């Protein structure tokens, strides 16, 4: 391949990655529930040195291992020591970028004219779920990085190429430290299924040494954790983390219940607009299965194992199968590469392009309809006018792009429709993250409310005790003081009445409707210091009891 073409390809890829993953990354506040919670845990690592035993609001946080919080804390320390929206989301964006380049490298074949490498990168960065997760402060993209890295190293081992068991083990071990045993089991199980596809001889190359090395980081952390837990007498935390949040959560999940087939459906819409190409890549016939190369077999092994593994648990969220997407992108790219080589596509292959074109057209027309107010959307809680200019521009661009995709598909010019679909997703990405979310942000974020709360309380109290009914991490993140977590539902936490009995001079953050319910059953004289509506919910208030 021409060196100049390679250089242009890398520059273009870097530009697309910047727009898809980094442009406006910190332009809007962290979104509840996960983002503020994880940012708060990372901040308490920096401020209170809870590096081994994570804390949230001064209490042990048993839900997740520490590695993801370490990454947020590390980026925040490098950026001046403050945890904010940008530093909290940066680990996900950086992880997504590394995954793109790993798959770019893995997608290369020995053929000089192969398009598979660049197609894999373009499809992966522009599929809906992947670029959404790349811009959110959640654990799963970082986990996806270590699972993908472990899988690619394991593939090298299984195909007789040189690899270092130590690095495979570190990826597996850090995967466990990121989100528990799933970071180990998914790569190990996928490699085992690939060995089944390859035949008995493949088991001799199974990277057992790498799997053993994967236990080393976990053992080191557990030893440090046991020491920390013993010093602080937090044995309940250890039981919660090691058992409830892993084995119990998998076998008998207490939330996010979905039917067995959930992931087999969710991947179809999460992988848009490339879903049709993944579907036609499925090797339904024996002849198609025999024609698969090792990389395609491996990609299918990863997808099948992950889908079945996560489907066996009652608790399901679409983000759990994020490690499937890099390999789904590779399979879609391989299928598109085959279509490139054909002079004439079949009707169902043409239909794949038409489907994506129609999808883009529907979105474009919907944007125009919203901007023109032909379709009403429930935004009464936002006072600022809808950014119609941006929305109608995006709608017109998407409509024009969709026409190009449809025409190209009809004329068997798939090579033109592929970049058009990437550009369409780029437009959607820009509109969502650089226009819509910053527009909504002042109304849905608790930052402004808590900044006023900070000023009021500091002005009137030197050593305040502040409670919040139905605690939410965002309010603690933007507040200057720990919050007593109040609940009327959990008997283990003090309710609102008990809090005022214990702290008659205390301050409380509570929804206005909950306060009205409380005053119906409790005869109290109180002062409401601040009332503000946040998001679509009823107003929140800051209240204290009167001294008389």
Domain ranges of the chain: 3-341, 347-444, 447-545
Mean pLDDT of 355-363: 93
Give the pTM.
0.93
Q: What is the pLDDT of residue 5?
A: 61
Query: How do 540-545 and 507-511 pair as beta strands?
Result: antiparallel
pLDDT at 216 (0 to 100):
95
pLDDT of residue 492: 46
Residue carrying structure tokens 């999460």: 270
Most confident of 342-346, 356-360, 408-412: 356-360
pLDDT given for residue 491 in this prediction: 47
Q: What is the C-alpha to C-alpha distance for residues 387 and 18, in angstroms, rounded to an integer?
A: 24
Element (H, E) at 466: strand 466-469
Task: Give the model's pLDDT for residue 414.
Answer: 79
C-alpha 133/C-alpha 92 separation (Å) is: 7
CB 254 within 8 A of CB 111: no
Residue 429 and residue 122: Cα distance in Å, rounded?
Answer: 14
pLDDT value for 3:
62
Q: Count the neighbouring beta carbons within 10 Å of the beta carbon of residue 389.
A: 10
Q: Does the pLDDT at position 13 exceed 50?
A: yes
Average of per-residue pLDDT across 256-285: 92
> What percentage of the chain has pLDDT greater than the value 70?
92
- Lowest-pLDDT range, 62-66, 303-307, 408-412? 408-412
pLDDT attached to residue 211: 95
What is the average pLDDT score of the chain? 89
CATH number listed for the domain at residues 447-545: 3.40.190
- Cα(231)–Cα(229) distance, integer angstroms: 5
- More reliable by pLDDT, 2 or 523: 523
The predicted pLDDT at position 548 comes to 60
- At 382 the pLDDT is 84
Q: To the nearest 10°, report the CA torsion of 107, 111, 112, 115.
A: -40
The reported pLDDT for the residue numbered 279 is 94
Residue 534 has pLDDT above 70, yes or no: yes
Mapped onto helix, strand or coil, the DSSP state of residue 468 is strand
Which of these ranges, 46-55, 184-193, 427-436, 483-492, has the smallest mean pLDDT?
483-492
Termini Cα distance of the chain: 83
Cα gap 305→312, rounded to integer Å: 11
Give me the pLDDT at residue 60, please: 86
What's the pLDDT band for 253 if we cut at 50, 70, 90? Answer: low
Task: Decide which of 410 and 75 is more confident.
Answer: 75
The pLDDT tens digits for 364-378 are 999 999 998 887 777
Q: What is the pLDDT of residues 412-451, one digit of tens each?
A: 777 888 999 999 999 999 999 999 999 999 999 999 999 9
Of the chain, the percentage scoring pLDDT greater than 90 comes to 61
Mean pLDDT of 50-62: 89
Mean pLDDT along residues 192-212: 91
């Amino acid at each position: 391949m021409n060196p100049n073409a390679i250089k242009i390809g890398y520059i273009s890829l870097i530009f697309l990655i910047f727009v898809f993953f980094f442009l406006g990354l910190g332009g809007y506040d962290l979104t509840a529930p996960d983002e503020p919670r994880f940012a708060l845990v990372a901040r308490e690592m920096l401020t209170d040195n809870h590096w081994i035993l994570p804390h949230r609001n001064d209490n042990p946080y048993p839900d997740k291992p520490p590695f993801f919080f370490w990454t947020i804390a590390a980026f925040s320390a490098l950026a001046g020591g403050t945890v904010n929206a940008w530093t909290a989301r940066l680990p996900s964006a950086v992880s997504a970028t590394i995954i793109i380049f790993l798959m770019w490298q893995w997608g290369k074949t020995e053929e000089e004219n192969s398009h598979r490498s660049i197609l894999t990168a373009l499809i992966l960065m522009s599929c809906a779920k992947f670029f959404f997760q790349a811009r959110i402060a959640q654990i799963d993209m970082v986990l996806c990085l270590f699972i993908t890295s472990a899988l690619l190293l394991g593939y090298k081992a299984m195909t007789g190429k040189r690899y270092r068991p130590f690095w495979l083990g570190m990826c597996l071990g850090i995967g466990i430290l990121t989100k528990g045993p799933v970071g180990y089991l998914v790569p190990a199980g996928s490699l085992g299924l690939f060995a089944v596809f390859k035949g008995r001889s493949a088991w001799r190359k199974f990277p057992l040494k790498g799997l053993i090395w994967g236990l080393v980081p976990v053992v080191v952390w557990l030893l440090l954790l046991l020491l920390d837990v013993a010093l602080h007498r937090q044995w309940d935390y250890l039981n919660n983390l090691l058992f409830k949040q892993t084995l119990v959560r998998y076998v008998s999940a207490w939330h996010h219940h979905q039917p067995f087939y959930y992931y087999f459906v969710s991947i179809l819409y999460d992988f848009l607009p490339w879903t049709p190409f993944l579907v036609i890549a499925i090797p339904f016939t024996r002849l198609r299965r025999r024609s698969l190369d090792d990389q395609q077999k491996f990609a299918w092994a990863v997808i099948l194992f992950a889908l079945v593994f996560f489907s066996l648990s009652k608790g399901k969220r679409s983000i759990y199968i994020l490690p499937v997407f890099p390999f789904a992108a590779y399979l879609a790219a391989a299928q598109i590469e085959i279509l490139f080589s054909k002079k004439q596509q079949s009707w169902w292959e043409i239909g794949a392009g038409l489907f994506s074109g129609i999808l883009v057209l529907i979105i474009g027309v919907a944007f125009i309809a919203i901007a023109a107010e032909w379709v009403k959307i429930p935004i009464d809680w936002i006072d600022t006018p809808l950014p119609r200019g941006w929305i109608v521009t995006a709608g017109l661009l998407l409509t024009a792009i969709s026409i190009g995709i449809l025409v190209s598909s009809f004329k068997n010019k798939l090579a033109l429709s592929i970049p058009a679909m990437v550009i369409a997703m780029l437009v959607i990405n820009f509109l969502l993250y650089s226009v819509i979310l910053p527009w909504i942000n002042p109304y849905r974020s608790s930052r402004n409310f808590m900044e006023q709360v900070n000023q009021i309380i500091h002005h009137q109290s030197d050593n305040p005790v502040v409670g919040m009914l139905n605690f939410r991490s965002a309010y603690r993140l933007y507040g200057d003081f720990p919050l007593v977590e109040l609940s009327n539902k959990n008997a283990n936490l003090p309710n609102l009445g008990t809090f005022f009995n214990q702290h008659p001079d205390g301050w409380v953050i509570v929804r206005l409707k909950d306060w009205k319910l409380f005053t119906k059953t409790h005869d109290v004289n109180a002062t409401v210091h601040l009332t503000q509506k946040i998001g679509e919910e009823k107003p929140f208030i800051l209240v204290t009891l009167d001294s008389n």
